[in-house]
A and B are shown apart, each in its own frame.
Chain A
Amino acid sequence: MTERSRKRLFAVSGTVLFGLFSYAALNLPAWGDYRGPYGNFISNLAVYERHATDTVNAINYDYRGFDTLGEEFILFTAVVGVMMLLRRERGTRTKPLSQSGKLQDQPTLGVAVRATNIPAMILTIIFGFYIGLHGQLTPGGGFQAGVILASALFFIYLAENTDAFQRLTSHTAVEVIESVGAGAYALIGLAPLCFGLPLLTNALPLGKTGDIFSSGNIALISATVGVEVTAAFLLVMYTYLQEIITGEIPDD
Protein backbone atom coordinates (compact mmCIF):
# COMPACT_ATOMS: atom_id res chain seq x y z
CA MET A 1 0.00 0.00 0.00
CA THR A 2 1.40 3.36 -0.97
CA GLU A 3 1.72 6.27 1.42
CA ARG A 4 -1.06 8.16 -0.38
CA SER A 5 -3.68 5.44 -0.47
CA ARG A 6 -2.96 4.72 3.17
CA LYS A 7 -3.61 8.34 4.08
CA ARG A 8 -6.79 8.34 2.00
CA LEU A 9 -8.00 5.21 3.77
CA PHE A 10 -7.26 6.83 7.11
CA ALA A 11 -9.12 10.00 6.12
CA VAL A 12 -12.26 8.05 5.20
CA SER A 13 -12.27 5.72 8.21
CA GLY A 14 -11.24 8.58 10.50
CA THR A 15 -14.18 10.72 9.36
CA VAL A 16 -16.63 7.86 9.82
CA LEU A 17 -15.23 7.09 13.28
CA PHE A 18 -15.34 10.76 14.27
CA GLY A 19 -18.96 11.02 13.13
CA LEU A 20 -20.04 7.92 15.04
CA PHE A 21 -18.03 9.02 18.07
CA SER A 22 -19.64 12.47 18.12
CA TYR A 23 -23.07 10.89 17.76
CA ALA A 24 -22.34 8.60 20.72
CA ALA A 25 -20.90 11.47 22.78
CA LEU A 26 -24.07 13.53 22.32
CA ASN A 27 -26.12 10.78 23.92
CA LEU A 28 -23.91 10.39 26.98
CA PRO A 29 -25.42 11.04 30.41
CA ALA A 30 -24.96 14.60 31.66
CA TRP A 31 -21.69 15.60 33.33
CA GLY A 32 -21.51 14.04 36.80
CA ASP A 33 -24.82 12.23 36.38
CA TYR A 34 -24.85 8.76 37.91
CA ARG A 35 -27.58 6.34 36.84
CA GLY A 36 -26.60 3.00 38.39
CA PRO A 37 -28.62 2.21 41.49
CA TYR A 38 -26.04 -0.23 42.84
CA GLY A 39 -23.40 2.40 43.67
CA ASN A 40 -25.69 4.65 45.72
CA PHE A 41 -27.16 1.63 47.44
CA ILE A 42 -23.85 0.19 48.50
CA SER A 43 -22.29 3.49 49.59
CA ASN A 44 -25.24 3.95 51.94
CA LEU A 45 -24.87 0.42 53.24
CA ALA A 46 -21.13 -0.25 53.48
CA VAL A 47 -20.40 1.86 56.56
CA TYR A 48 -23.34 0.42 58.42
CA GLU A 49 -22.84 -3.20 57.38
CA ARG A 50 -19.04 -3.49 57.23
CA HIS A 51 -17.72 -0.43 59.14
CA ALA A 52 -15.64 0.45 56.06
CA THR A 53 -15.59 4.07 54.93
CA ASP A 54 -13.83 3.24 51.67
CA THR A 55 -16.71 1.66 49.79
CA VAL A 56 -14.49 0.69 46.87
CA ASN A 57 -12.48 -1.67 49.05
CA ALA A 58 -15.61 -2.91 50.78
CA ILE A 59 -16.74 -4.06 47.34
CA ASN A 60 -13.31 -5.32 46.23
CA TYR A 61 -12.48 -7.35 49.31
CA ASP A 62 -15.90 -8.23 50.65
CA TYR A 63 -19.04 -7.87 48.55
CA ARG A 64 -17.22 -9.00 45.40
CA GLY A 65 -14.29 -10.62 47.20
CA PHE A 66 -14.45 -13.70 45.03
CA ASP A 67 -13.74 -11.66 41.87
CA THR A 68 -10.71 -10.08 43.51
CA LEU A 69 -9.47 -13.52 44.51
CA GLY A 70 -9.53 -14.45 40.83
CA GLU A 71 -7.78 -11.22 39.89
CA GLU A 72 -5.06 -11.84 42.39
CA PHE A 73 -4.40 -15.25 40.93
CA ILE A 74 -4.23 -13.66 37.46
CA LEU A 75 -1.30 -11.57 38.72
CA PHE A 76 0.21 -14.62 40.41
CA THR A 77 -0.05 -16.71 37.24
CA ALA A 78 1.35 -13.88 35.11
CA VAL A 79 4.42 -13.59 37.34
CA VAL A 80 4.93 -17.37 37.31
CA GLY A 81 4.61 -17.25 33.52
CA VAL A 82 7.28 -14.53 33.19
CA MET A 83 9.63 -16.44 35.47
CA MET A 84 9.12 -19.66 33.52
CA LEU A 85 9.64 -17.99 30.14
CA LEU A 86 12.88 -16.33 31.20
CA ARG A 87 14.26 -19.18 33.29
CA ARG A 88 17.77 -20.50 32.77
CA GLU A 89 18.03 -24.09 31.75
CA ARG A 90 21.19 -25.99 32.45
CA GLY A 91 23.62 -25.75 29.56
CA THR A 92 22.37 -22.40 28.29
CA ARG A 93 25.25 -20.34 26.96
CA THR A 94 25.12 -17.03 28.77
CA LYS A 95 27.26 -14.01 28.21
CA PRO A 96 29.78 -12.99 30.84
CA LEU A 97 29.23 -9.62 32.47
CA SER A 98 32.20 -7.94 30.79
CA GLN A 99 30.66 -8.48 27.37
CA SER A 100 27.62 -6.41 28.10
CA GLY A 101 29.54 -3.23 27.32
CA LYS A 102 27.49 -0.26 28.37
CA LEU A 103 25.67 -2.22 31.04
CA GLN A 104 28.81 -2.40 33.17
CA ASP A 105 27.49 -2.24 36.64
CA GLN A 106 28.95 0.79 38.32
CA PRO A 107 27.15 3.57 40.11
CA THR A 108 27.37 6.63 37.91
CA LEU A 109 25.16 8.90 39.98
CA GLY A 110 26.56 11.64 42.14
CA VAL A 111 26.74 11.39 45.93
CA ALA A 112 24.00 14.01 46.34
CA VAL A 113 21.54 12.03 44.21
CA ARG A 114 22.35 8.84 46.05
CA ALA A 115 21.98 10.55 49.42
CA THR A 116 18.53 11.95 48.57
CA ASN A 117 17.48 8.54 47.39
CA ILE A 118 17.55 7.12 50.90
CA PRO A 119 15.03 9.55 52.46
CA ALA A 120 12.90 9.22 49.34
CA MET A 121 12.91 5.47 49.77
CA ILE A 122 12.03 5.66 53.46
CA LEU A 123 9.17 8.07 52.71
CA THR A 124 7.87 5.78 49.97
CA ILE A 125 7.93 2.78 52.31
CA ILE A 126 6.06 4.68 55.03
CA PHE A 127 3.55 5.91 52.45
CA GLY A 128 3.10 2.35 51.17
CA PHE A 129 2.37 1.01 54.63
CA TYR A 130 0.00 3.89 55.30
CA ILE A 131 -1.93 3.24 52.10
CA GLY A 132 -2.05 -0.48 52.78
CA LEU A 133 -3.14 -0.29 56.42
CA HIS A 134 -5.82 2.32 55.76
CA GLY A 135 -7.32 0.44 52.85
CA GLN A 136 -10.75 0.19 54.45
CA LEU A 137 -10.78 3.87 55.48
CA THR A 138 -9.26 5.95 52.68
CA PRO A 139 -8.67 5.36 48.98
CA GLY A 140 -5.90 2.86 48.46
CA GLY A 141 -5.58 -0.65 49.78
CA GLY A 142 -3.52 -3.75 49.17
CA PHE A 143 -2.81 -3.47 45.48
CA GLN A 144 -1.81 0.19 45.65
CA ALA A 145 0.35 -0.43 48.71
CA GLY A 146 2.03 -3.32 46.91
CA VAL A 147 3.07 -1.33 43.87
CA ILE A 148 4.24 1.58 46.03
CA LEU A 149 6.33 -0.68 48.27
CA ALA A 150 7.84 -2.44 45.26
CA SER A 151 8.74 0.87 43.65
CA ALA A 152 10.45 1.89 46.91
CA LEU A 153 13.00 -0.83 46.25
CA PHE A 154 13.50 0.45 42.70
CA PHE A 155 15.19 3.40 44.41
CA ILE A 156 17.96 1.03 45.37
CA TYR A 157 18.33 0.07 41.74
CA LEU A 158 18.45 3.76 40.80
CA ALA A 159 20.86 4.86 43.49
CA GLU A 160 23.15 1.86 43.66
CA ASN A 161 23.19 -0.66 40.85
CA THR A 162 21.57 -3.84 39.64
CA ASP A 163 23.84 -5.84 41.92
CA ALA A 164 22.41 -4.23 45.05
CA PHE A 165 18.86 -4.73 43.79
CA GLN A 166 19.51 -8.37 42.99
CA ARG A 167 21.09 -9.04 46.35
CA LEU A 168 17.76 -8.05 47.90
CA THR A 169 15.44 -9.86 45.51
CA SER A 170 17.34 -12.97 44.46
CA HIS A 171 16.24 -14.98 47.46
CA THR A 172 13.76 -17.79 47.40
CA ALA A 173 12.16 -15.88 50.27
CA VAL A 174 10.61 -13.41 47.82
CA GLU A 175 8.98 -16.27 45.94
CA VAL A 176 7.74 -17.79 49.18
CA ILE A 177 6.36 -14.43 50.33
CA GLU A 178 4.50 -14.06 47.04
CA SER A 179 2.94 -17.50 47.35
CA VAL A 180 2.07 -16.93 51.01
CA GLY A 181 0.38 -13.65 50.13
CA ALA A 182 -1.71 -15.23 47.38
CA GLY A 183 -2.44 -18.35 49.43
CA ALA A 184 -3.44 -16.42 52.56
CA TYR A 185 -6.25 -14.69 50.67
CA ALA A 186 -7.56 -18.06 49.52
CA LEU A 187 -7.26 -19.45 53.06
CA ILE A 188 -9.09 -16.46 54.56
CA GLY A 189 -11.80 -17.12 52.00
CA LEU A 190 -11.95 -20.84 52.73
CA ALA A 191 -11.81 -20.60 56.54
CA PRO A 192 -15.53 -19.73 56.98
CA LEU A 193 -16.42 -22.96 55.16
CA CYS A 194 -15.17 -24.91 58.20
CA PHE A 195 -17.88 -23.23 60.27
CA GLY A 196 -20.60 -23.86 57.75
CA LEU A 197 -20.59 -20.27 56.46
CA PRO A 198 -20.41 -19.25 52.78
CA LEU A 199 -17.07 -18.61 51.09
CA LEU A 200 -15.37 -15.31 52.06
CA THR A 201 -17.86 -14.53 54.81
CA ASN A 202 -16.75 -11.52 56.82
CA ALA A 203 -16.96 -13.27 60.17
CA LEU A 204 -14.26 -11.33 62.04
CA PRO A 205 -15.29 -8.66 64.56
CA LEU A 206 -15.96 -5.43 62.65
CA GLY A 207 -14.49 -3.07 65.24
CA LYS A 208 -15.08 0.64 65.52
CA THR A 209 -15.59 2.55 62.25
CA GLY A 210 -12.46 4.61 61.55
CA ASP A 211 -9.98 2.40 63.39
CA ILE A 212 -7.05 0.79 61.59
CA PHE A 213 -8.20 -2.62 62.79
CA SER A 214 -11.81 -2.35 61.75
CA SER A 215 -14.07 -3.85 59.10
CA GLY A 216 -12.95 -7.43 59.80
CA ASN A 217 -11.85 -9.33 56.72
CA ILE A 218 -11.37 -6.28 54.53
CA ALA A 219 -8.28 -4.99 56.34
CA LEU A 220 -6.82 -8.50 56.60
CA ILE A 221 -7.31 -9.36 52.93
CA SER A 222 -5.98 -5.94 51.94
CA ALA A 223 -2.78 -6.72 53.85
CA THR A 224 -2.30 -10.13 52.17
CA VAL A 225 -2.88 -8.59 48.74
CA GLY A 226 -0.27 -5.95 49.57
CA VAL A 227 2.29 -8.64 50.44
CA GLU A 228 1.54 -10.58 47.27
CA VAL A 229 1.71 -7.58 44.93
CA THR A 230 4.97 -6.29 46.44
CA ALA A 231 6.67 -9.65 45.95
CA ALA A 232 5.16 -10.10 42.49
CA PHE A 233 6.50 -6.79 41.17
CA LEU A 234 9.93 -7.42 42.68
CA LEU A 235 10.10 -10.89 41.13
CA VAL A 236 9.22 -9.60 37.67
CA MET A 237 11.84 -6.85 37.96
CA TYR A 238 14.43 -9.33 39.18
CA THR A 239 13.72 -11.73 36.34
CA TYR A 240 13.95 -8.96 33.75
CA LEU A 241 17.24 -7.66 35.17
CA GLN A 242 18.65 -11.17 35.31
CA GLU A 243 17.74 -11.63 31.66
CA ILE A 244 19.61 -8.46 30.69
CA ILE A 245 22.74 -9.09 32.67
CA THR A 246 23.20 -12.75 31.89
CA GLY A 247 21.12 -13.12 28.75
CA GLU A 248 21.47 -15.94 26.29
CA ILE A 249 24.02 -15.55 23.54
CA PRO A 250 22.12 -15.39 20.25
CA ASP A 251 22.76 -18.33 17.93
CA ASP A 252 24.27 -17.71 14.49
Chain B
Amino acid sequence: MMMVIGTGILLLLAVAGARVVTTRDTTEQVITLGFYGLLTALMFFFFQAPDVALSQITVGAVALPLMIMLAISRMRVRDALKKKGQEHD
Protein backbone atom coordinates (compact mmCIF):
# COMPACT_ATOMS: atom_id res chain seq x y z
CA MET B 1 0.00 0.00 0.00
CA MET B 2 2.74 2.44 1.00
CA MET B 3 4.63 1.54 -2.13
CA VAL B 4 1.60 2.32 -4.32
CA ILE B 5 1.14 5.75 -2.73
CA GLY B 6 4.86 6.48 -2.98
CA THR B 7 4.99 5.48 -6.63
CA GLY B 8 1.89 7.58 -7.27
CA ILE B 9 3.48 10.66 -5.71
CA LEU B 10 6.69 10.17 -7.67
CA LEU B 11 4.78 9.74 -10.95
CA LEU B 12 2.71 12.84 -10.17
CA LEU B 13 5.96 14.74 -9.57
CA ALA B 14 7.34 13.60 -12.91
CA VAL B 15 4.19 14.72 -14.74
CA ALA B 16 4.09 18.06 -12.89
CA GLY B 17 7.80 18.67 -13.52
CA ALA B 18 7.35 18.06 -17.24
CA ARG B 19 4.32 20.38 -17.19
CA VAL B 20 6.36 23.19 -15.60
CA VAL B 21 8.92 22.91 -18.38
CA THR B 22 6.37 22.76 -21.19
CA THR B 23 4.28 25.69 -19.92
CA ARG B 24 5.08 28.63 -22.16
CA ASP B 25 3.31 31.60 -20.58
CA THR B 26 5.50 33.02 -17.81
CA THR B 27 2.64 33.82 -15.44
CA GLU B 28 1.21 30.34 -15.83
CA GLN B 29 4.68 28.96 -15.24
CA VAL B 30 4.71 30.55 -11.79
CA ILE B 31 1.47 28.80 -10.89
CA THR B 32 2.66 25.41 -12.14
CA LEU B 33 5.95 25.89 -10.33
CA GLY B 34 4.10 26.63 -7.10
CA PHE B 35 2.03 23.48 -7.53
CA TYR B 36 5.20 21.51 -8.23
CA GLY B 37 6.69 22.94 -5.03
CA LEU B 38 3.67 21.74 -3.03
CA LEU B 39 3.96 18.27 -4.57
CA THR B 40 7.64 18.17 -3.64
CA ALA B 41 6.68 18.99 -0.06
CA LEU B 42 4.17 16.12 -0.13
CA MET B 43 6.93 13.80 -1.35
CA PHE B 44 9.30 14.91 1.41
CA PHE B 45 6.56 14.33 3.97
CA PHE B 46 5.79 10.88 2.62
CA PHE B 47 9.43 9.85 2.65
CA GLN B 48 9.69 10.76 6.34
CA ALA B 49 11.32 14.17 6.16
CA PRO B 50 8.60 16.39 7.68
CA ASP B 51 11.09 19.13 8.59
CA VAL B 52 12.24 19.47 5.00
CA ALA B 53 8.59 19.39 3.89
CA LEU B 54 7.82 22.33 6.19
CA SER B 55 10.46 24.58 4.68
CA GLN B 56 9.65 23.33 1.18
CA ILE B 57 6.03 24.45 1.55
CA THR B 58 7.04 28.01 2.34
CA VAL B 59 10.07 28.25 0.06
CA GLY B 60 8.74 26.27 -2.90
CA ALA B 61 5.13 27.35 -2.87
CA VAL B 62 5.36 30.91 -1.49
CA ALA B 63 8.79 32.52 -1.65
CA LEU B 64 10.08 31.22 -4.98
CA PRO B 65 6.92 31.90 -7.04
CA LEU B 66 6.60 35.30 -5.39
CA MET B 67 10.15 36.26 -6.36
CA ILE B 68 9.71 35.05 -9.93
CA MET B 69 6.43 36.96 -10.09
CA LEU B 70 8.23 40.12 -8.96
CA ALA B 71 11.00 39.59 -11.50
CA ILE B 72 8.42 39.16 -14.27
CA SER B 73 6.56 42.32 -13.32
CA ARG B 74 9.87 44.20 -13.19
CA MET B 75 10.64 43.08 -16.74
CA ARG B 76 7.17 44.14 -17.88
CA VAL B 77 7.65 47.59 -16.39
CA ARG B 78 11.00 47.90 -18.12
CA ASP B 79 9.55 46.86 -21.45
CA ALA B 80 6.69 49.32 -21.03
CA LEU B 81 9.13 52.12 -20.21
CA LYS B 82 11.26 51.26 -23.23
CA LYS B 83 8.24 51.33 -25.51
CA LYS B 84 7.19 54.65 -24.08
CA GLY B 85 10.66 56.08 -24.67
CA GLN B 86 10.63 54.98 -28.29
CA GLU B 87 7.29 56.65 -28.88
CA HIS B 88 8.69 59.98 -27.70
CA ASP B 89 11.66 59.88 -30.08
Q: A interface vs B, CB < 8 Å?
A: 31-32, 54, 56-57, 95, 99-103, 131, 139-141, 143-144, 147-148, 150-151, 154, 233, 236-237, 240-241, 243-244, 247, 249-250, 252
Q: In whole angstroms, how far apart are the Cα atoms of A144 and B57 in the complex?
A: 10
Contact with A along B50-72 (1 / 0, CB 8 A): 11001100110011001100110
Q: B interface vs A, CB < 8 Å?
A: 2-3, 6, 50-51, 54-55, 58-59, 62-63, 66-67, 70-71, 73-74, 76-78, 80-82, 84-85
Q: Which residues of B contact A150 (CB under 8 A)?
A: 58, 63
Using A144-B54, A236-B67 as known contacts, say yes or no to A250 and B62 having CB atoms under 8 A apart.
Answer: no
Which B residue sits closest to A229, measured CB to CB? B55
Check B66–A143 contact: CB distance below 8 A.
no
Q: List 30 A-B contacts (CB under 8 A).
A: A31-B6, A54-B51, A95-B81, A99-B81, A100-B77, A101-B77, A101-B80, A102-B73, A102-B77, A131-B54, A139-B50, A140-B54, A141-B51, A143-B55, A144-B54, A144-B55, A144-B58, A147-B58, A147-B63, A148-B54, A148-B58, A150-B58, A150-B63, A151-B62, A154-B62, A237-B67, A249-B81, A250-B78, A250-B81, A250-B85
Using A31-B6, A147-B63, A250-B82 as known contacts, say yes or no to A103 and B58 having CB atoms under 8 A apart.
Answer: no
Q: Which residues of A contact B3 (CB under 8 A)?
A: 31
B53 to chain A, nearest CB (A): 8
Query: What total count of A-B pairs have CB within 8 Å?
Result: 69
Using A31-B2, A151-B63 as known contacts, say yes or no to A139 and B74 having CB atoms under 8 A apart.
Answer: no
Q: Which residues of B contact A140 (CB under 8 A)?
A: 51, 54
Check B51–A139 contact: CB distance below 8 A.
yes
Q: In whole angstroms, how far apart are the Cα atoms of A99 and B51 in the complex?
A: 44
B52 to chain A, nearest CB (A): 9
Q: Which residues of A contact B85 (CB under 8 A)?
A: 250, 252
Check B51–A103 contact: CB distance below 8 A.
no
Interface residue from B50, B55, B70, B84 paired with A240 (Cβ < 8 Å): B70
